């Protein structure tokens, strides 16, 4: 089962990347549908900017250690999701990187996951969902979500460089096509959660599908098909 799933995921590598690239205009256009004047989004942006203020005061070694830990944990999560047994997770003492080992050959999704998937963002959303079972949503939680969005963007940006060993494994051309729209998709989903929770994410995906449909109709009409 594990090998079959790896083969399927590897087979879908470029179709997924090209679909995300096709969806890029929709991810950009979707920003028009967010009500940024709402207090919830003002709090979110407040938390976002607070992260970059806090970042300037963070101990650099502690910040790098957290980034490395999140990076390897994201590898591990996607290894588990694709039915691989995680054998070990190691962080280098000098914060130069880390390593996550697992059984089996693996797939491109395990390799690229830390460069687009906001693990801390997901954990924050789960935590907010649990909290709101007992108390109403508040602006502090909106700000916290903005804080982790800032963390995600900063972490991804700091990890994409020429010495990164993961990127050549999936190919630089693939990264150029996949990473930007994949990150916009994740950020858009977190922003949608900010207004209506998990239902907001579902609404956001439907919006993207609708915008993609319009985009496709425009291409067909332009080509006269």
At 98-130, the pLDDT tens digits run 777 788 888 999 999 999 999 999 999 999 999
- The predicted model scores a pTM of 0.92
Give how many domains the chain has, as a whole number.
1
The one-character DSSP state at 85 is P
Structural domain includes residue 221: no
* pLDDT grade for 193, boundaries at 50, 70 and 90: very high
Range of the domain at 200: 2-13+21-214
Residue 85 resides in a domain: yes
């Amino acid at each position: 089962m594990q090998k079959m799933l790896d083969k399927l995921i590897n087979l879908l590598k470029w179709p997924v990347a090209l679909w995300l690239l096709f969806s890029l205009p929709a991810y950009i256009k979707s920003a028009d549908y967010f009500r940024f004047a709402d207090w919830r989004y003002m709090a979110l942006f407040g938390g976002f900017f607070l992260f970059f203020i806090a970042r300037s005061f963070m101990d650099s070694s502690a910040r790098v250690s957290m980034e490395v830990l999140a990076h390897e944990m994201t590898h591990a999560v996607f290894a588990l999701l694709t039915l691989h047994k995680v054998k070990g997770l190691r962080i280098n003492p000098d914060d130069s990187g880390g390593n996550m080992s697992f059984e089996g050959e693996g797939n491109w999704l395990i390799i690229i996951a830390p460069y687009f998937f906001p693990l801390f963002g997901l954990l924050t959303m789960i935590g907010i969902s649990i909290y709101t079972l007992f108390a109403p949503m508040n602006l502090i939680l909106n700000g916290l979500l903005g804080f982790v969005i800032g963390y995600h963007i900063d972490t991804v940006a700091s990890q994409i460089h020429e010495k990164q060993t993961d990127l050549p494994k999936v190919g630089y051309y693939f990264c150029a096509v996949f990473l930007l729209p994949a990150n916009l998709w994740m950020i858009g989903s977190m922003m949608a959660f900010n207004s209506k929770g998990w239902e907001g994410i579902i609404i956001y995906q439907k919006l993207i599908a609708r915008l993609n449909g319009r985009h496709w109709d425009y291409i067909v009409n332009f080509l006269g098909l």
